[in-house]
Structure 1
Amino acid sequence: MTSTQSIYPLSLPQRVLLLGSGELGKELTISLQRFGCEVIACDTYDRAPAMSVASSSVVIDMTNETSVSAVIAKTNPDLIIPEVEKLAVEALIAAAQNGKRVTPSATIVKLTFDRQGIRTLAAEKANVPTSKFAFADSIETLKEEAGKIGFPCFVKPTMSSSGHGQSRVISADQLDQAWENASAGARASTGKVIIEENIDFDYEITLLTVRHLVDGQVQTSFCEPIGHRQQDGDYVESWQPQAMSVNALARAKEIAKSVTDILAEESGNENHPVLGLFGVELFVRGDEVFFSELSPRPHDTGMVTIASQVQNEFDLHARAILGLPLNTSLLNPAASAPLKAPTENANPRYFGLDEALADPQVSIRIFGKPEAHKGRRMAVAVARHENVDEARRVAQAAIGKLTIK
């Protein structure tokens, strides 16, 4: 793009429409506001976390194309930043065609909000290694494709997050229940599920990959790899850095760049450079690396960067989008551990914060969600230390002292 240098950095302040106002959106809002941006926080429910810190807020059905188009027209933003998967992507594509800047791009949102789009692109266009996978639009097709992939395997909605609707299937007689789980747990119904091979990996990582400008040219930079542990498809702790062999780390960076470059190529008709932070999830087995998933935004496992990096993932996303200089350097090892609600609670109150913060190396973020639902992330502890093992221990101990009543 010949005019990149003349456009960037963007003139400030910018009016930003944030589509998705959870805990990640809240931290991103704060980062954008530090550069004078006016942030309009939008979500499907009132008092979402980002709304407490945004300049203004709007509650709409974000899966409704008419509603999303109307809020774009009414707020007339300079930038539209999608922060969730559950969106009426057609409204974003129409906005981009009308000259609105959707970051990183409307095309990328369309490709990544559905596992079918991103997995097919990674395997067939970026030509990076993935687990074996197939898609099914019926119980009959599911049984047929799962038989080809073999057991155990995973059955997931093509559109979901945080492990919702995911099942690990060890035999064919569990497929009917897996189909029901996927249908119930989907963020939005696509009529399809994805069946994935179970890879016997050593560990999994999130590689935060940042497309940003240096002297007017797009450059890709990486944060140190983030290790994480999941239960039922949702993360229960993360740490940075994850120890990796030289070859595995080089391969991880190669895969992440290949996939994000292909995404940028697919967005070539939107007339602005693809900039921002991408959370690229990878499986590692020895020196082998397999692509898993990608989020075109800050990642939940990346909350560890609040304690570990010179600039956390939210600052990096904001700087990249605005065309500003950035620094992906690690400051010190750190770990994060989320607090999940044990039961339903219409008016959550938090206890034990004083004990959780007794260690000066601990920080706590209470997200401010108005209601607690069983398994919902409500807060996170982040801890820095001289080594990862101690940081993990301290973070887990701290979050164990925080309770919801």
Structure 2
Amino acid sequence: MSGQGMVLGVLGGGQLARMLAQAASPLGIRTLALDPAAGGCAADVAMTQQAEWDDWAALQRFADQVDAVTFDFENVPAATARWLAERVPVYPPPEALEVAQDRLTEKTLFRACGLPTPEFRAIASRDELEAAVAGIGLPAILKTRRLGYDGKGQFRLREPADIEAAWQALGAQAETVGLILEAFVPFERELSVIAVRDRQGGFRGWPLTRNWHVDGVLSLSLAPAPQVDASVIAEAMGHARTLAERLQYVGVFALELFVRDGQLLGNEMAPRVHNSGHWTIEGAVTSQFENHVRAVLGLPLGLTAARGPAAMFNWIGELPDRRAALAVPDLHWHDYGKTARAGRKVGHATVCAAEASALAGRLEQAAQILGRATQAEPAISLLRQD
């Protein structure tokens, strides 16, 4: 395949579809996004169609127009993905999508692949919740098995009295999307592996990313993650490769990890391009978005080395004023074209530099301008020690 005249189909029309389209365009590849909702921000840069996930006639028309299909988010119904896979290549494969849609299945797979996880129990009733709390201990987190993301569908239990409140908050979903109780991990740091596997089994990973979250939503990412032993990097990449091969994965994915007492623990896997990999657009030789397009369409993968250290601010709810921020050297602004709304990802900014000390200064300058000084301080401190 040369790539000439190819069309990438994307299920979902949000910011990830938008950035995939932006990465595909210089390669001469057009993008067609399909979403049940109208007005997705991908429409600014890609062709779009509106259809329900079970509108088989519309999905057939979609399949007839594209060379391969991928996902903008992981909550696309697996039945839709399987139906399309009988008509057009779908990557990642529907089986990988299904695993990542269910926290219980996902963590069971992690353990089967040799990746330790926090203790967990499936929960189907209030009695099972009480028994799981007794077995796992507190603190712990009750989560929906499906459809939860960015801290949604979760309830933290700190003491036995929280059991009733947790059940009142999430118990009604036990029969619909299922529940899981996970031990709370007093982790030292959060890392993510952003990796890509092509159709022939070729595997590449970007440098590990260090992440900080606020209220369960990514706030700041720093890459390459500083002060991480080479053995930890190799172990993290090894786990990612094992998972990718077990799932016969094709495309970019993220593996989120906790570090506790020097041990890696699997948290979640995202079967798509990921928020913590946005820094790769300006900070790596080939971005996660371009390599995802390449992998899905059967094109050779690009290099994944970092051009230098980079940090990314995530914008939730509304965008700050960009004018002053753009005066920071090597700061790159991304407005997703979304209407401001509480809890909504509306954009990000990436700051790059040739070395850690320079990035520390630029990051501090940007954080002061953008009102993120407190959140950026841990990253700045690490950069100055590196």
Length-normalised TM-score, structure 1 = 0.83
In the alignment, what sits opposite 2:145?
Answer: 158
- Please state if 1:104 is matched with 2:88: no
Looking at structure 1, the residues matched to 175 and 284 of structure 2 have their Cα atoms a distance apart, in angstroms, of 38
Matches within 5 A, 1:219-230: 219-230=202-213
Of 229, 252, 273 in structure 2, the residue corresponding to residue 245 of structure 1 is 229
Identity %: 25
**Alpha-carbon offset, residue 189 of structure 1:** 8.0
Instruction: Answer with 235-244 or 83-92: which moved more.
Output: 83-92
Looking at structure 2, the residues matched to 89 and 28 of structure 1 have their Cα atoms a distance apart, in angstroms, of 21
- Please state if 1:193 is matched with 2:169: no
Alpha carbons of 1:332 and 1:179: their partners in 2 closer, same or farther (altered >3 Å)?
farther
In the alignment, what sits opposite 1:95?
Answer: 84
**Alpha-carbon offset, residue 191 of structure 1:** 3.2
Matches within 5 A, 1:4-403: 9=1, 11-54=3-46, 56-62=47-53, 66-67=54-55, 69-75=56-62, 76=64, 77-96=66-85, 98-123=86-111, 125-159=112-146, 160-182=148-170, 190-212=176-198, 217-243=200-226, 244-264=228-248, 274-322=249-297, 323-341=299-317, 352-369=321-338, 371-385=339-353, 386-387=355-356, 389-390=360-361, 392-400=363-371
Looking at structure 1, the residues matched to 366 and 33 of structure 2 have their Cα atoms a distance apart, in angstroms, of 30
Find the residue that maps to 1:251 and give its secondary structure. helix
Query: Counterpart amino acid of 2:371?
Result: G
**Alpha-carbon offset, residue 391 of structure 1:** 5.2
**Alpha-carbon offset, residue 78 of structure 1:** 2.0
Find the residue that maps to 1:172 and give its secondary structure. coil
Instruction: Answer with 155-164 or 38-47: which moved more.
Output: 38-47
Find the residue that maps to 1:218 and give its secondary structure. coil
Looking at structure 2, the residues matched to 380 and 183 of structure 1 have their Cα atoms a distance apart, in angstroms, of 35
Find the residue that maps to 1:140 and give its secondary structure. helix
Contact 1:366 1:380 in 2 (8 A): yes
Length-normalised TM-score, structure 2 = 0.87
Looking at structure 2, the residues matched to 138 and 20 of structure 1 have their Cα atoms a distance apart, in angstroms, of 34
**Alpha-carbon offset, residue 201 of structure 1:** 1.8
Alpha carbons of 1:338 and 1:52: their partners in 2 closer, same or farther (altered >3 Å)?
same
Instruction: Answer with 36-45 or 198-207: which moved more.
Output: 36-45
Contact 2:138 2:157 in 1 (8 A): yes
Contact 1:336 1:392 in 2 (8 A): no
Query: Counterpart amino acid of 1:58?
Result: Q
Contact 2:118 2:183 in 1 (8 A): yes
Count of aligned residue pairs for this structure pair: 364
Contact 1:129 1:290 in 2 (8 A): yes
Alpha carbons of 1:398 and 1:119: their partners in 2 closer, same or farther (altered >3 Å)?
farther
Alpha carbons of 1:136 and 1:360: their partners in 2 closer, same or farther (altered >3 Å)?
same
Query: Counterpart amino acid of 1:52?
Result: D
Q: Deviations over 1:329-354 (max 9, x none)?
A: 11011111122226xxxxxxx66221
Query: Counterpart amino acid of 2:274?
Result: H
Contact 1:333 1:391 in 2 (8 A): no
Looking at structure 1, the residues matched to 2 and 58 of structure 2 have their Cα atoms a distance apart, in angstroms, of 23
Alpha carbons of 1:70 and 1:84: their partners in 2 closer, same or farther (altered >3 Å)?
farther
Looking at structure 2, the residues matched to 395 and 70 of structure 1 have their Cα atoms a distance apart, in angstroms, of 49
Instruction: Answer with 148-157 or 11-20: which moved more.
Output: 11-20
Find the residue that maps to 2:27 and give its secondary structure. coil
Alpha carbons of 1:35 and 1:396: their partners in 2 closer, same or farther (altered >3 Å)?
same
Looking at structure 2, the residues matched to 156 and 395 of structure 1 have their Cα atoms a distance apart, in angstroms, of 35
**Alpha-carbon offset, residue 17 of structure 1:** 2.1
Find the residue that maps to 2:190 and give its secondary structure. strand
Alpha carbons of 1:51 and 1:176: their partners in 2 closer, same or farther (altered >3 Å)?
farther
Find the residue that maps to 1:294 and give its secondary structure. strand
Moved over 4 A (4+): 180-184
Q: Deviations over 1:167-204 (max 9, x none)?
A: 221112223333454479x8x98431121111222111
Give structure 2 stretches of 5+ with no counterpart: 373-386
Looking at structure 2, the residues matched to 329 and 252 of structure 1 have their Cα atoms a distance apart, in angstroms, of 16
Q: Say what the alpha-carbon RMSD is for the aligned residues.
A: 2.3
Alpha carbons of 1:149 and 1:286: their partners in 2 closer, same or farther (altered >3 Å)?
closer
Query: Counterpart amino acid of 2:217?
Result: D
Looking at structure 2, the residues matched to 108 and 257 of structure 1 have their Cα atoms a distance apart, in angstroms, of 14
Contact 1:165 1:183 in 2 (8 A): no
Give structure 1 stretches of 5+ with no counterpart: 1-8, 265-273, 343-349
In the alignment, what sits opposite 2:383?
Answer: none
